[in-house]
Amino acid sequence: MNKKTLVFGASLKPNRYSNYAVQQLIANNVTVVAFGNKKGEINGLSVESDLMPYRDLHTVTLYLNPKQQKPYYDYILSLKPGRVIFNPGTENTEFYELLREHKISFEASCTLVLLATNQY
């Protein structure tokens, strides 16, 4: 499985779900890139705090609440991912509409559950 994934809202704190998602994606041989509010590393993977022009993204998995997502709508749309995953607490009907308009699929799901059940 190699569905290049951007973990958007990645935390450097090991007790956060976004951090664990990065670890589990790596463990499942998924190519991972990460954006967070602090630059650093998770298991050797660089977490960027600047918006990068990533290419060939299959998935953007969100770990920001809807209010925090709003400034990033245009950026995420510009990446043209194959899908966006709205993890628990990130569900956002306003963003769903924009994704529909841009013909980008999305789902309200949990990256960790999808990985654990081989549905990623």
Cα–Cα distance measured from residue 103 to residue 48, given in angstroms and rounded to the nearest whole number: 27
For 71, residues 6+ apart whose C-beta sits below 8 A from its C-beta are none
pLDDT tens-digit readout, 91-119: 999 999 999 999 999 999 999 999 999 99
Q: Which tens digits make up the pLDDT trace of 76-95?
A: 999 999 999 999 999 999 99
Res 14: pLDDT? 96
CA dihedral 43→49→51→55, nearest 10 degrees, is -10
74-77, long-range: CB < 8 A, 24+ apart = 75/51, 76/8, 77/102, 77/104
- Look at domain 5-116 and name its CATH class: alpha beta
Query: Which pLDDT does position 59 carry in this prediction?
Result: 98
pTM score, two decimals?
A: 0.96
Please count the other Cβ atoms lying within 10 Å of the Cβ belonging to residue 22.
29
